[in-house]
Structures are given as C-alpha cells and as structure tokens.
Amino acid sequence: MFGTYLRRELANRRRQTIIIAVGMALAIALVIVVNAVAAGVQNAQATALKSIYGVGTDITITEPVTAASAGGQQFQFGSGAGRTSGGTRTIGGSRLRTDFGTQTFAATTVAKAAATPGVKAATGVLSLSNTTFSGQLPGGATGGFGRSGATPRPTGGPDGAGGSAFGITRVSVLGYDVGGATIGPLTAATLTKGRSLTAADAGKDVAVLDSDYATSAKKSVGSTVSIGGKTFSVVGIVKSTSATGSSASNLYIPLDTAQNLAGDKGDVSSVYVEAASADQIGTVKTALQQTLGSTMTVNTQADLASTVSGSLSTTASLASSLGLWLSVLVLAAAFLIAVLFTVSGVNRRTREFGTLKAIGWSNRRIVGQVAGESFVQGLIGGAIGVVIGIVAIVIVNMAHPVLTASAAAAGRPAGTAAGGFGGGSGFGGGGLGRAFNQVASSASSIVLSLPITPAVFGIAVGLAVLGGLIAGAFGGWRASRLRPAEALRSVA
C-alpha cells in the first residue's frame, strides 16, 4: 500500500516533484562540484609542493630568517675594477650565497630529526643562489665637475653618451645529500640524461641540471657550468615529474661541495622529514618541535599548502569561501523549497488525510507516508544532482584549466631571474635584494583535475536524504497535527 500510494502521489503531483527534485539536484550538483574543486585544488597544491619538497616529504624544518642575515645582495667594485675600452668600463662578478630569505643552521639538526620518534627518514639541503652581474659604465667619469665653469658633455658608456647598462642573472643551486637520500626535492624529478649524483661524487665539482634550465642555458651532459667562480661538469639532466612544472632547482650539486663553496660549512638551509606513518605526522611535528626548540620552524605539508600562491591559491580561496557559502545557500534554498512544497501539499490534502484518519490510519502511518514521499523526491533530486555533478566535473576536466602555483617557503624554489637596468651607477644592498625576492619563488603551471570520489557522492546522497527527511519531517508534523474531525469539517 505504502509503495503504491507513494508512487501514485508522486506521479500525480509531477510538477511539485520536478520542482523539488530540480532544486535538490542543483544544490547537490553544486556541492559535488565545489567539493571536487576543493579536492582538485588540494591535489594541485600537493603537486606544487611535491615539485619543491619532493615525494614523501611530510615535514620540513627551517630556521626563520634573522634581520642580520636578511640583507640583500651587494656587489662592490674597487675604483680600478673591470677593464676600460673606448671610454667604456666593463665590470662583472659572480657570487654564490645562501638563497634570499633563507637562514642556514647546523647540519646536526638532520641527525637530531632522524633520531626523533616517528621519523622514518631525514635529509638536509642547502639552497643557494648563484648571481652573476655584468655591466658597462662610462670609463672616464672621474672628477672635473665645475672646474672651468662649463660642464663637459658626458661621453663613454654603452651608448657613448655617458649612460650605463647592467645585467643580472640568477641561478638556483641546491646542495643535497648524494649518499642515497630517499626523500628530498630530487625525488620529484626523473633522470632524463646522464647519471645521478652518487656517494662517490661527494666533494666533487659535478652537477645535475634541471631540463628546463639546461634547455634555456643550452647545456647538456658533458657541458660545464660556472658556480661561484668554479667550473662544474654536468653529469646528468633531470625533469620534474609534474606535467608542466620545473624541478626544485636549476642545478643540483653535492651538499658538501655546496657548503664549501658558499662558506656555509656544516650548515644546511632545510631539513626534509618523512614520518613513519601518515597518521603520525601531527605527533611527529610536535616531537620535532620539542626536540629542536622553538627557534626552529617545523611545517607539515598542510601548513605549507598555505604558502602556495598564484591562481591556484585564488581558486582554493574561491572553492573554500565562495563555493562553500554558495553551496550552503543553494542547499538551504533547496531544502526550504522542499519544505514549503511539502507543507503546502499536506495542506491541500487535508481532506485526504482526514479521511484516512477516519478509516483508521494512525498518525505514524500518515507521517511515514508524507516523509516517504519527500524522501523519494530528495533521492530523485540527489540522483539527478549526481549526474549533473559528474557531467560538470567531466566538462571541467576536459577543459584542462591550468592554474599557476608559486610557493615561497623554506627551501625556496628555483627560478632563473634575469634583470637589467640602465642609468647612473651606484646601487646594491636592500633594493636589489628586494628585487630578487620578488622573483625568487618559481611559478609552475598545474592542470586542475577534479577527482570523482565515492566520499563526495556519499555526502551528496546524504544531503539529498537529509533534505528529503527535513521536508518530510515538516510535512509529517503538519499532517500529524490534523485532527480528523476538524480535517473533515474543513472539507464540509
């Protein structure tokens, strides 16, 4: 009886059923899409972080930058520096130093981290920047101002009229443990040419290049590169496992070589930690913080996700703020529509329910009938919503939206920055440092892929059921309050 009556009522009140189902379907579809976008963004953030911190890194340890070490790069030249030719003086220089915004600390931290309970592996890296400066300025700009009343017309320089031109190239260099570390930035890259660095390369001037950098710098296996004034042999080329991004650094060299070259002997700039179990990450973070003290910054991948910026970050914000509230709003509207239509339906069926009560139907049976009808309407809406949601996800995935992701965190990502400026000489310090900092984080492009997960559909069906039950509860409550005598009297 229940099923027959329910089926006939829904079929008879087709318009109401369609309106409730469509309202519910749109809300459910929106929830599915917003959830999928949130999950997709989360995956993209993980991909962005993976390209920087490598596969398997659960926690990173860094030390906050102190004011004393936060100063910018500075090139100083003596009065006789460079060589002068035809009234133009050419000067240049190369410096290898710790990456901007990065603080080094004792490599013993790696051992302390590795010995912390719950830690499976730990490895240290030294993130460096190799900055090359070259420029031209007027060679004869020495005194003479105001001597005879008339100012001499400036000459020399690259434009022959006393101007200057400077070029700056920055290459990121990462010193890493070549003794077989199982985690770290290179775990997110694959070897495409040559060989990887091995324990036998410790202390040697050998380098592995990122394929993007190798292409732009026209380098290959067997070439040489200059790092901090020393010549390194290129033994291998690696490529990021990310479809569109570069790997963590332009160049990879043995850690001890990097330490010696940068004058940071016995120091690292980041420690990468892998927890023994994914569900212990929080505990391990706490243990590490206790072991290493409050001066060290211990971040999990979840903490680092907030450092990802760019359109990926914007999408994440949209998904979590606008998407969430839009979902809640549409869901509330759908529930409200379902409740109003159900209560209105009960009011129209006063005579029907009064009659059923008169022939012996209990309140419970009538409430069950009304709730059952709403429940099925919700389920129909949920089913349509799931279909719309899947179609929307498939359309988004087919469109391959590309988001940019930048991360500026410990173990600062790589990038090659080239700058040039003209004008008078006299520069250095903070201004240039800031300019570097602005370009120091690398932007990688990540294709947003929305996952279709059973959990999302579970939530969607749950919401549809909830919507149906809420509407049914209101409708049932209204029906249960109908007193048979009054219901029949109102008909009369």
Partner 1 sequence: MYELERVSKTYRQGGRPVAALVDVDLTIADGEFVAVQGQTGGGKSTLLQLLGALDKPTSGTIRLGEADLGRMGASELTRVRATQIGFVFQSFNLIPTLSAQENVETALAPTHVDKRERRDRAQEALESVGLGDRVAHLPSELSGGQQQRVAIARALVKQPQVLLADEPTGALDEDTRGEIVGLLESVWKDRGLTLVVVTHDSWVAHRAERRIHLKQGRVTEKAAAKV
Which amino acid is it at 393?
I
Angle, CA of 134, 136 and 140, to the nearest 5°: 140
End-to-end Cα spacing for the chain? 27
In the complex, minimum distance from the CB of residue 47 to partner 1, in angstroms, rounded to a whole number: 55
In the bound state with partner 1, the residue whose beta carbon lies nearer, of 179 and 484, is 484
In the bound state with partner 1, the residue whose beta carbon lies nearer, of 7 and 195, is 7
In the complex, minimum distance from the CB of residue 354 to partner 1, in angstroms, rounded to a whole number: 8
* CA–CA separation, 342 and 473 (whole Å): 9
Binders of partner 1 among residues 235 to 254 (CB under 8 A) are none
Query: Considering the rule CB under 8 A, would residue 491 count as an interface residue with partner 1?
Result: yes
Burial of 451 (0-12, 13-18, 19+ CB in 10 A): middle
In the bound state with partner 1, the residue whose beta carbon lies nearer, of 363 and 416, is 363
**Local structure of residue 318 (DSSP, 8 states):** I
* CA–CA separation, 314 and 311 (whole Å): 5
Interface mask (CB under 8 A) for partner 1, residues 94-123, using x and -?
Answer: ------------------------------
* CA–CA separation, 467 and 474 (whole Å): 11
- Residue from 265, 348, 434, 489 binding partner 1 (CB under 8 A): 489
- Residue from 64, 434, 483, 490 binding partner 1 (CB under 8 A): 483
In the bound state with partner 1, the residue whose beta carbon lies nearer, of 11 and 68, is 11
In the complex, minimum distance from the CB of residue 340 to partner 1, in angstroms, rounded to a whole number: 21
In the complex, minimum distance from the CB of residue 10 to partner 1, in angstroms, rounded to a whole number: 9
With b for 16 or more beta-carbon neighbours within 10 A and e for fewer, the 166-204 pattern comes to bebbbbbbbbbbbeebebbbbbbbeeebeebbeeebeeb
Query: Considering the rule CB under 8 A, would residue 8 count as an interface residue with partner 1?
Result: yes
* CA–CA separation, 487 and 157 (whole Å): 101
In the complex, minimum distance from the CB of residue 381 to partner 1, in angstroms, rounded to a whole number: 21
In the bound state with partner 1, the residue whose beta carbon lies nearer, of 7 and 83, is 7
In the bound state with partner 1, the residue whose beta carbon lies nearer, of 159 and 486, is 486
Query: Considering the rule CB under 8 A, would residue 14 count as an interface residue with partner 1?
Result: no
- Of 124, 153, 140, nearest in space to 62 by CA: 124
Query: Considering the rule CB under 8 A, would residue 195 count as an interface residue with partner 1?
Result: no
In the complex, minimum distance from the CB of residue 471 to partner 1, in angstroms, rounded to a whole number: 19
Query: Considering the rule CB under 8 A, would residue 477 count as an interface residue with partner 1?
Result: no
* CA–CA separation, 112 and 273 (whole Å): 11
In the complex, minimum distance from the CB of residue 13 to partner 1, in angstroms, rounded to a whole number: 9
In the complex, minimum distance from the CB of residue 371 to partner 1, in angstroms, rounded to a whole number: 16
Query: Considering the rule CB under 8 A, would residue 5 count as an interface residue with partner 1?
Result: yes
* CA–CA separation, 228 and 251 (whole Å): 12
Q: Is the dihedral of CA 18, 19, 21, 23 positive or negative?
A: positive
Binders of partner 1 among residues 352 to 381 (CB under 8 A) are 352, 354-363, 365
In the bound state with partner 1, the residue whose beta carbon lies nearer, of 195 and 481, is 481
Return the biggest CA–CA distance within the chain. Answer: 123
Stretch that binds partner 1, among 19-27, 55-63, 130-138, 484-492 (CB under 8 A): 484-492
In the bound state with partner 1, the residue whose beta carbon lies nearer, of 332 and 358, is 358
Query: Considering the rule CB under 8 A, would residue 351 count as an interface residue with partner 1?
Result: yes
Backbone angles phi, psi at 213, to 5 degrees: -65, -40
Backbone angles phi, psi at 347, to 5 degrees: -60, -40
Paired with 272 in beta bridges are 60, 123
- Of 410, 467, 455, nearest in space to 36 by CA: 455
In the complex, minimum distance from the CB of residue 361 to partner 1, in angstroms, rounded to a whole number: 6
Total residues interacting with partner 1, rule: CB under 8 A: 27
**Local structure of residue 204 (DSSP, 8 states):** S
Burial of 357 (0-12, 13-18, 19+ CB in 10 A): buried
- Residue from 64, 329, 485, 490 binding partner 1 (CB under 8 A): 485
Please check whether residue 155 is in contact with residue 188, taking contact to mean a CB–CB distance below 8 angstroms. no
Q: Which residues bind partner 1 (CB under 8 A)?
A: 1, 4-5, 8-9, 11-12, 351-352, 354-363, 365, 483-485, 488-489, 491-492
